[in-house]
Chain A
């Protein structure tokens, strides 16, 4: 069975600074997808970024980028130029290839302060 671990329950960062959220996972699969989702106080799940395991290049989306280390089974999220609106819970998630079933980590609560 796949597991996803987020070792940082809470993180804080000052506005405009950079923060990195950690995620590790365990799987015997070779083909899979990894995601970072943001859940603001509204509880709406918002996709931040997605990575295909077969791609070596790290995914980037504007201020968000990942450091994907397949051998180490690590998938960290870097948020650059943090904004107050980035304050939210962040969930790392794993999806086995050819399924749509997401396995979530326990989440990291990020607080961006002025």
Chain B
């Protein structure tokens, strides 16, 4: 069964509003989670590393004020897309590792965001 749950699976919002996406590790604690973005027919691009109890680490070119990440507990990371615009429409996927050191990551089912 799924070990990483992502919610919602699909969301439509109006331009200028904010949207929150949740990523939960269901049966393990994850001090680190990752957020990826995937445009249609393209690869997954790492946006940021979510660190429990500290600030997220953003990849180059990702606006930290635009994509707010909060990792308040060992099982939950949230990504908030603030003041969303149509170009933010994309597929967002989170992942987490059960153990450190190269063990396979577990991925959420993804969230399709459409900004109208």
A interface vs B, CB < 8 Å?
Answer: 33, 35, 42-45, 47, 50, 52, 91, 95, 97-98, 100-107, 109
* In-complex Cβ contact of A91 among B34, B43, B46, B97 (8 A): B43
Complex CA gap A91/B96 in Å reads: 18
| B interface, over-half SS | strand
Knowing A43-B91, A91-B43, A107-B43, the reply to whether A102 touches B105 (Cβ < 8 A) is: yes
B interface vs A, CB < 8 Å?
Answer: 32, 34, 38, 41-46, 49, 91, 93, 95-97, 100-102, 104-105, 107, 109-110
Instruction: Assess the A106–B107 pair: CB atoms within 8 A.
Output: no
10 residue pairs from A and B, CB less than 8 Å apart: A43-B91, A45-B44, A45-B107, A50-B102, A98-B101, A100-B100, A100-B102, A104-B43, A106-B43, A107-B43
Knowing A45-B93, A91-B44, A107-B43, the reply to whether A100 touches B109 (Cβ < 8 A) is: no
Complex CA gap A77/B95 in Å reads: 23
* In-complex Cβ contact of B34 among A33, A97, A101 (8 A): A101
